[in-house]
Structure 1
Amino acid sequence: MNSTASHPTPLLRTVVGEITPDSVRGPVLAHEHLVLDLDHKGDGAAVLAPDRHAAAVTAELAALREEFGLSLVIELTCRGMGRDVETLARIARDAQVAVVAATGWYYEPFHTPEIDDSSVEQLTGTLVREIHGGIGATGVRPGVLGEIGSHGDTPTAPETKVLRASARAAVTTGLSVATHAQLGRGGLAQLDLLTAEGLPPQRISIGHQDLLDDPAVHRELAASGAYVAFDTVGKDSYQSDGTRLRLLLALLEAGHADRVLLSCDISRHGYLTTEGGQGYGHLFHSFLPQARAAGVDEDLIDLMTRRNPLRFLTGASVEEI
């Protein structure tokens, strides 16, 4: 009996119920926000509001499903980031695109009060209860931990506490962890903290590595077995797509195509196409055609945009998906 038969690939937990990985036939956006409120400045820019923007978000996802077969979005808005899973469920139903919701805490400036007042064990308990029992009274259960944040080369003490609690919750529940590494920095430190708690590297995605122009770090993360997220594609104010493509090609040439995740990290309403932004489809409309022109074939694109994110979520092996 083969390993797939002995250990069936886990189901994907979406905001409208569980689905099988083999039902996801088209690409996956591995790190997005569909509803969000990070408005600490009071200017309303870092917002995707349910009442003002959900219709535009839904329309974009539906159009991408029609044109490119978009099948699933990993939505990494967690505690303290304006998470609204009821709106996520409505978007998923109306767009006919599966959505995985998240739990956890972002990086320190956005921590909620319980971080300071709770131990690692208490924070772990909070996450495990939400994963098993659902978010609030909605009944919607998270399918991933993320985006678990830190900033700088070394996580702060509160960020370290959150990373450790997230790893423990992941080990207990069988979910995976997606991180926020501010401007791409600190990924190796995040990986060390998470794996020290017993979380296997293949259940970890280190975020925003396309903002770090350091191929050696990317290779080290990938060689460990962790996923390397090039997940801010199109955010030219942070990094040009030309640099992103160069870094991606270097990682592919080093033999690590099976560790790459791709997405756009839409995190403010000005990024929506209705407001003149690049939108959730920038990956498909612009970046992937550039990758194809540089010699990346369709099997590699399917690997990076579908099989890898499914394997990240489920812990499946290369052979299983």
Structure 2
Amino acid sequence: MDHPPPRILRTVTGELAAEAVRGPVLPHEHLVLDLDRQGDGAAVLDAEHHAASVTGELSSLRLRFGLSLIVELTCRGMGRDVRALARISRETGVPVVAATGWYYEPFHTPEVDTTDVDQLAAVLVREIEDGIGATGIRPGVLGEIGSHGDLPTPAEAKVLRAAGRAALATGLPLATHAQLGRGGLAQLDLLMAEGLPAERICIGHQDLLDDPGVHRGLAERGAYVAFDTVGKESYQSDATRLRLLSALVEAGHGDRALLSCDISRHGYLRGEGGQGYGHLFEDFLPAFRAAGADEDLIDLLTRRNPLRFLTGADVEEN
């Protein structure tokens, strides 16, 4: 029997066939970042000071749960360090996909103010085609492209449009940051107006928005709906997340949901007293199973959906 050609993922340590990813994927995480605007160092994952905690967690999750891929959505202006990502990937044995783009407006880098949409898109395409800086490491996703509020600001609309054009030009998928879950429909409208198909778009942080109608609306148009802050109880309870996810699945859109933890502060690391990258596997998914989810649905949500988002193609069931 003829088999289709492998779908290739672009990781920080080289190309990887999607078919080789047999275990779960975390599609929205941070391993190294710096979002510190208060001067207290809380919103930081420093490659030097926190690397042991990060690598220890990921190594354990690979052994215990078969963690097989991480999509690392730290982009321009967020403290991105792809050399550190490559080092972490090699040390843990977990492949990592790096990102490019711009976060929401307070974290924009200076060129956003002085450059038009086409020029910004060209910046992203160059990184995608030639690599980030002198590293030669090429991003495998655009994200997390940010906005806050029900409508993007003009600067945020500019970077969303630029990222949409770069995604269309390169074939990469695009993941957004919708602050507290708001503005996802406006993000999708803007990106689709640039010609990017909805199935190449993931709208972020929808588990922070208690509105099943919005989730259904995004999924019905073909976009992925990210429940990607699992375990961040100070923002939303996991009980609410479970209810929202169940509602989306029951509406027939289980193939549009993505699950992750969005570890974005060193205090979230398990070694520093937080819930850790493994909270999804250790706590949330057992609760989902107890609510009636079977293993095929778990595999769909944690492996097949993120791989389809990344490659644009289905992968076989385990």
TM-score range normalised by the length of the shorter chain: over 0.9
Q: Which of 161, 179, 182 lines up with 2:176 in the alignment?
A: 179
For structure 1, list consecutive stretches of 5 or more residues without a partner in the other structure. none
**Secondary structure, counterpart of 1:50 in structure 2:** coil
Q: Which of 17, 20, 23 lines up with 1:23 in the alignment?
A: 20
**Secondary structure, counterpart of 2:57 in structure 1:** helix
Q: Does 1:279 align with 2:276?
A: yes
Asked if 2 retains the 8 angstrom alpha-carbon contact of 1:31 and 1:75, the reply is: yes
Alpha-carbon offset, residue 55 of structure 1? 1.5
Alpha-carbon offset, residue 319 of structure 1? 7.0
The separation in 2 between residues aligned to 1:181 and 1:242, in whole angstroms, is: 21
Q: What is the match of residue 51 of structure 2? A: 54
For structure 2, list consecutive stretches of 5 or more residues without a partner in the other structure. none
Q: What is the match of residue 77 of structure 2? A: 80
Distance 1:150 1:69, change over 3 A: same
Q: How does 1:127-146 map to 2 (within 5 A)?
A: 127-146=124-143
Asked if 1 retains the 8 angstrom alpha-carbon contact of 2:26 and 2:260, the reply is: yes
Per-residue CA shift, 1:137-185, capped at 9, x if unaligned? 0010000000000000000000000000001000100100000000000
Q: Which of 15, 28, 36 lines up with 1:39 in the alignment?
A: 36
Alpha-carbon offset, residue 54 of structure 1? 1.2
Letter in 1 for 2:293: V
- How many pairs align? 318
Q: What is the match of residue 163 of structure 1? A: 160
What is the percent sequence identity of the aligned residues?
A: 75
Q: Which of 106, 109, 120 lines up with 2:106 in the alignment?
A: 109
- TM-score, scaled to structure 1: 0.97
The separation in 1 between residues aligned to 2:28 and 2:258, in whole angstroms, is: 9
Q: What is the match of residue 89 of structure 1? A: 86
**Secondary structure, counterpart of 2:49 in structure 1:** helix
Q: What is the match of residue 219 of structure 1? A: 216
Distance 1:13 1:318, change over 3 A: closer
Q: How does 1:302-317 map to 2 (within 5 A)?
A: 302-317=299-314
**Secondary structure, counterpart of 2:50 in structure 1:** helix
The separation in 1 between residues aligned to 2:264 and 2:12, in whole angstroms, is: 20
**Secondary structure, counterpart of 1:234 in structure 2:** coil
Alpha-carbon offset, residue 9 of structure 1? 4.9
Runs (4+) of structure 1 exceeding 6 A deviation are 318-321
Q: What is the match of residue 261 of structure 1? A: 258
Asked if 1 retains the 8 angstrom alpha-carbon contact of 2:307 and 2:315, the reply is: no
